[in-house]
Amino acid sequence: MSDRATPPPEPVFLEGAAGRLFAVYHAPSASARRGIALVYVPPFAEEMNRARRMAALQARALAEAGVPVLIPDLFGTGDSEGEFRDARWRLWQADIRAAGDWLRARHPGDIGLWGLRLGGLLAAELAAIDPGRFARVLLWQPVGDGKSMLTQFLRLRIAVAMQEGTRQTTEGLRAQLAAGNTLEVAGYEIAPELAAALDRAQLQLCRPGATVDWLDISGEAEAGLAPARQRVVAGWRGAGVRVAADAVPGEPFWATQEVALAPQLIGATVRRLAA
């Protein structure tokens, strides 16, 4: 194998806060090695599965450009230990820290976070509270607040109930969670502790001086970020955060029933991280 060849993806197991975590490590080609390595922070529930192909393709492209990437399944998801009903926000935070430590042991230097959808919100939060641990944040279509996302998630159960001839409401489902009940939604059992953490989660301002790359998907070739998201970016810049933000054409691959790809997003990401 030449020094320009990129090693194949390597399955690994990490010690997480509550159990072993399965991850896939994408090592860089030796000759193209960059100064940063990335931990991928996946989206929520079924969005994680729908995005797996894109995450793998992006990680491979980054590794070929010299950026190593670790893609973990957080506790209670994928092939990691635990059930989804056991998942907690604080455990996911600890899992990402553990993944960062694993990657740093192999690549001394800067460790960044790459988060998709809810994973973007979680990545930004960790970068804000652990500024010395994570040097850069790559956001793909980050969720603005966990409460709205949870409401959309609960509506999946309401839609199923309507098909079965029963009526449920988000208020009623939230009342069940507040009473300490675990709810099954679209095949996922969500614990009241996780639901409460999602309700509190907001896309946080990263520390001044941090570097953030924000990329959204748009159905229009020339569209930029939505106005509300432009205001968030402007506020971050005003607070001293270095933000490069844009939207690229593509399909919302995390939401489609069939596997969808966004090749322009892959290219834009490589250009940002390998520059």
236-271 pLDDT tens trace? 999 999 999 999 999 999 999 898 999 999 999 999
Do residues 165 and 237 both lie within one domain?
Answer: no
Rounded average pLDDT over 204-227: 84
Return d(Cα 252, Cα 215) in angstroms, integer. 12
Do residues 139 and 233 both lie within one domain?
Answer: yes
Return d(Cα 83, Cα 106) in angstroms, integer. 29
Average pLDDT across the chain, whole number: 92
| Per-residue pLDDT reduced to its tens digit, 129-183 | 888 889 899 999 999 999 999 999 999 999 999 988 889 999 999 999 999 999 9
| Per-residue pLDDT reduced to its tens digit, 46-62 | 999 999 999 999 999 99
Do residues 115 and 139 both lie within one domain?
Answer: yes
For residue 238, the model assigns a pLDDT of 93
Q: Would residue 16 count as lying in a domain? A: yes
Return d(Cα 151, Cα 5) in angstroms, integer. 46
Q: Would residue 4 count as lying in a domain? A: no
For residues 135 and 154, is the Cβ–Cβ distance under 8 A? no
For residue 5, the model assigns a pLDDT of 77
End residue of a domain, out of 183, 200, 217: 200
Give the Cα-Cα-Cα angle 236, 239, 241 (nearest 5 degrees).
Answer: 60
Residue in the structure block whose two tokens are 């509190």 = 200
Q: Would residue 5 count as lying in a domain? A: no
Quick one: tokens of 57? Answer: 């393709």
Q: Would residue 31 count as lying in a domain? A: yes
Do residues 166 and 87 both lie within one domain?
Answer: no
Do residues 224 and 213 both lie within one domain?
Answer: yes
Closest listed residue to residue 212, CA positions, set 246, 178, 181: 246
Rounded average pLDDT over 107-131: 93
Give the dihedral sign, CA 88/90/96/102. negative
Counted domains in the chain = 2
Do residues 153 and 168 both lie within one domain?
Answer: yes
Do residues 56 and 178 both lie within one domain?
Answer: no
- Between the alpha carbon of residue 116 and those of residues 138, 192, 193, 264, the distances in Å are 9, 23, 22, 16
Return d(Cα 257, Cα 259) in angstroms, integer. 7
For residue 1, the model assigns a pLDDT of 35
